[in-house]
Amino acid sequence: MILKSLRTYFNNALLGYYPDTEIKSFFHLLSERVLKMKRIDISQNLYAVVSGKKYDKFQKAIDGLKKYEPIQYILGDTEFYGLVFKVNPSVLIPRPETEELVQWIINCHSEQNKETELNILDIGTGSGCIAISLAKNLSNAKVFALDISNDALKTAKQNAVNNEVEVEFIEADILDWDCGNLEFDIIVSNPPYVRELEKEGMSANVLEHEPHLALFVKDDDALLFYRNITEISKTILKPNGQLYFEINESLGERTKDLLVNNDFKSIELKRDIFDKDRMIKAIKR
């Protein structure tokens, strides 16, 4: 099939499933990946023939998109903080809000003495996006990353290799973790924080394809992970060590109270680019 006809076929197949602009953007992403053609190249090669495996990849993408599979899972990777991360249904697709959390940590620590090692623990690492971005950008960091999911850790390990950083991975349940004598300067976590009651407003590509283990908490215990990680941090954070959380936009004040009640100081609640309460930082006394 020639490229011009493939584009029309692709648009028509997905009509009614997604807005027109989104279908165009999927087509451009796939063309870049499968045909190595940027937007400008497409208009200049409308009569190029797309066949065999290349055509099959477009057809497979149409089939997946019709089932609302996220385009990142279909492509097999995504970009986060300027790095490429492999993603699959065992890991949450990294979000731009989380890049802001990473940026905050890097801003706070990049000026520190490079001679002093900075021990960092990322809890609920998923694809490894937070841990690996910090390891890549803070030259004095020694990064540990923990997750309960063995499949997620396999992906995260691959991402660490691909991005050429060393991260120590730990398979454990943070709600029942014997941390031994580890001590950290920084603990960061983007734990599950979506309440079951919030499912209603969520789109099919998230609800039906991203791991529920990474997303949901019970309505009556939304701060389960925050309470637990704050408690553990009282033991394994060094004095003046810093705790960073990504948070549920509706639970900013409650998360802040939790940290105040646990005697953390200098608590800062920060909004994301969408002007929602999204992250919090606190210092251990």
129 binds ligand SAM (CB under 6 A): yes
Which of 31/133 has CB closer to ligand SAM? 133
130 binds ligand SAM (CB under 6 A): yes
173 binds ligand SAM (CB under 6 A): yes
Asked if residue 204 lies in contact with residue 68, where contact means CB atoms within 8 angstroms, the answer is: yes
Which of 57/154 has CB closer to ligand SAM? 154
193 among the known binding-site residues? yes
| 148-167: contacts with ligand SAM (CB under 6 A) | 148-149, 152
Hunting for tokens 């490229």 — which residue is that? Answer: 3
Determine the interface stretch with ligand SAM among 21-29, 33-41, 187-195, 252-260 (rule: CB under 6 A): 187-195
Tell me which of 75, 87, 94, 100 binds ligand SAM, using CB under 6 A. 94
Can you read off the two tokens belonging to residue 125? 């690492």
82 among the known binding-site residues? no
Q: Residue 196 has what DSSP assignment? A: G
How far is it, in rounded angstroms, from Cα 94 to Cα 131? 12
241 among the known binding-site residues? no
Determine the interface stretch with ligand SAM among 45-53, 58-66, 90-98, 254-262 (rule: CB under 6 A): 90-98
How far is it, in rounded angstroms, from Cα 135 to Cα 118? 10
Asked if residue 225 lies in contact with residue 213, where contact means CB atoms within 8 angstroms, the answer is: no
125 among the known binding-site residues? yes
Tell me which of 84, 175, 182, 260 binds ligand SAM, using CB under 6 A. 175
Determine the interface stretch with ligand SAM among 33-41, 45-53, 145-153, 272-280 (rule: CB under 6 A): 145-153
Determine the interface stretch with ligand SAM among 4-12, 57-65, 133-141, 184-192 (rule: CB under 6 A): 184-192
127 among the known binding-site residues? yes
Sign of CA dihedral 93, 94, 96, 101: positive
Helices in the chain by DSSP H: which ranges?
3-14, 20-30, 39-44, 52-66, 71-75, 96-109, 129-137, 150-162, 204-207, 212-215, 224-236, 252-261
How far is it, in rounded angstroms, from Cα 264 to Cα 240? 9
252 among the known binding-site residues? no
How far is it, in rounded angstroms, from Cα 107 to Cα 72? 28
Of 109, 151, 149, 115, the residue nearest 133 (C-alpha): 109
Q: Site size for ligand SAM, by CB under 6 A?
A: 22
Please tell me the number of Cα atoms within 13 Å of 65 on its side-chain side: 27
Binding-residue pattern over the window 190 to 229 for ligand SAM, x denoting contact by CB under 6 A: xxx--------------------xx---------------
* Neighbour count for residue 40 (Cβ, 10 Å): 8
Binding residues for substrate are 190-193
Binding residues are 124-128, 147, 190-193
Which residues are near ligand SAM by CB under 6 A? 92, 94, 98, 124-127, 129-130, 146-149, 152, 173-175, 190-192, 213-214
Binding residues for S-adenosyl-L-methionine are 124-128, 147, 190
